[in-house]
Amino acid sequence: MSFDVILPFLQPIAHLMTDPDVTEIMVNAGGAVFVERAGRVVTLPAIRMTERDLQVATRNIARILGDDISVEKPLLDSRLPDGSRVAVMWPPCSVGGTTLTIRRFRYRTFTIEELVRVGTIAPDVVEHVRQAIHDRENILISGGTSTGKTTLLNALAAFVPDDDRIVVIEDTAELRLDKPNLPRFEARREQSGLPPVTIRALLHASLRHRPDRILLGEVRGGEAYDLLQALNTGHSGTISTIHANSAAQALARFSSCVLQSGVDLPYAAIRHQIADSLHWLLHIERRQGIRIVTQLLKVRRYDVAQDTYDFETVYPHIRASTEADNPLDVIDGRRYCRETTDGVRTTLTPARS
């Protein structure tokens, strides 16, 4: 199916769909149009879509994609022919009119050298991660929405040796890896007459395909438990991503995802398994339109008595805040910044002057 089949229904914003600098298109209830360009969201006051145009467009797009949207089924979450994601919400759930968000798929991938050059990741962080991948240690990349987690994973995956069999599992196929032995599995949402195929089902089935390494596009739910089991049974060298506000909080999110599996395990046992299975936490943020890796933590252990994780802070989280926000300790005449998070204890790192 050609992408041109979709564009006629989106005439007011069709040129934005083909603009290589636009990564996201947002049409709010009432017809106001916003786009993300170069990491910044800007409004386009000269472009508007009427409610009638929005409903006709989204209904036709849904039908072409083998789905449906209506007052009875007011939500659409699907994928366009080029891989772009399309999310629609109709009234009355969307107050004031239809809301449409299109996240464009980017064919352009970035090498790790390019990410270093633009300042996304520091060279010393790259060397730590390169060695971790060589040593078959497991890495969890965390960050918020549109921070570049998938882009970073794609770049780091280049360090995986070519003679490894890499199984890639994604909700939506986005990773673009140049590897010779690369089975790729993609989840399927429930469609008319077709049952869903979940990430968890794909992960479980992938173990029968002799993976040397598993790259999991994103941990969102109960598949976290199955990933833990895989990591504890010899499938090391995994790289995955998760939504979280910091590297340390990524483990709390991962624990919550394990609990969604429905497996009856003591919470302390889950946290202990996580500490044994995940070796590195890499956090990426978006600041004023710029994506930057801000933390690299090495997971040391889980302290059962204190119910905390111990981390080694390999690369510090650079905060744009006051000393009052980051209490300072003085040890042997040197100032150190102590970062604290609920359920987390980290080592002290030299404070920046």
Inter-residue contact 274 to 258 (CB < 8 Å): yes
Name the strands in the sheet holding 40-48, side by side, starting at the edge strand that comes first in the sequence.
Answer: 40-48, 32-37, 22-27, 99-103, 85-89, 75-79
pLDDT score, position 322: 29
- Quick check: is 97 in a domain? yes
240 shares a domain with 264: yes
Query: 166 with 42, same domain?
Result: no
State whether 167 and 130 are in the same domain.
Answer: yes
Question: What's 244's domain CATH number?
Answer: 3.40.50.300
Same domain, 91 and 129: no
Same domain, 63 and 137: no
Which has the closest alpha carbon to 137: 272, 259, 300?
Answer: 300
Whether residue 179 sits in one domain with residue 90: no
My answer on whether 131 and 273 are in the same domain is yes
CA distances from 197 to 56, 164, 168, 217 (A): 30, 26, 15, 15
In a domain, 71, yes or no: yes
Radius of gyration of the chain (CA): 22
* DSSP conformational letter for 187: -
In a domain, residue 328? The reply is no
137 and 266 fall within a common domain? yes
How many structural domains is the chain composed of? 2
pLDDT for position 187: 92
How far is the C-alpha of 330 from the C-alpha of 349, rounded, in Å?
Answer: 11
Choosing from 103, 129, 162, the residue where a domain stops is 103
Report residue 137 CA to chain centroid gap. 19
pTM over 0.85: no
User: What pLDDT does residue 318 have?
Assistant: 41
342 lies in a domain? no
Mark whether 184 and 303 lie in a shared domain. Answer: yes
Phi, psi of 8 (to 5 degrees): -55, -25
Domain CATH for 55: 3.30.450.90
Query: Do 79 and 123 lie in a common domain?
Result: no
Tens of pLDDT along the chain (353 residues) come to 445 667 788 888 988 988 888 989 999 999 999 999 877 899 999 999 999 999 999 999 898 888 889 999 999 988 777 778 899 999 999 999 999 999 887 767 899 999 999 999 999 999 999 999 999 999 999 999 889 999 999 999 999 999 999 999 998 888 989 999 999 999 988 777 789 899 999 999 999 999 999 999 999 999 999 999 999 888 899 999 999 999 999 999 999 999 999 888 898 999 999 999 999 999 999 887 789 999 999 999 999 988 899 999 999 744 433 223 333 333 333 333 333 333 444 444 444 43
Residues 6+ apart with CB under 8 A from 37: 19, 21, 22, 23
Is 340 a domain residue? Answer: no
Burial of 1 (0-12, 13-18, 19+ CB in 10 A): exposed
Instruction: State residue 4's pLDDT score.
Output: 66
43 CB-near residues (< 8 Å, 6+ apart): 32, 33, 34
Domain housing 130: 112-316
Asked if omega into 92 is within 30° of 0 (cis), the reply is: yes
H or E stretch including 316?
none
Whether residues 76 and 116 fall in one domain: no
| 167 lies in the same domain as 301 | yes
Q: Which of 86, 103, 120 is the last residue of a domain?
A: 103
Task: Note whether residue 253 is domain-resident.
Answer: yes
Considering the domain boundaries, does residue 284 fall inside one? yes
From the list 195, 202, 196, the residue with the least C-alpha distance to 219 is 202
Q: Which two tokens stand for residue 328?
A: 């300072």
Distance CA(127)–CA(58), nearest Å, equals 46
pLDDT for 326? 37
Q: What is the pLDDT of residue 145?
A: 86
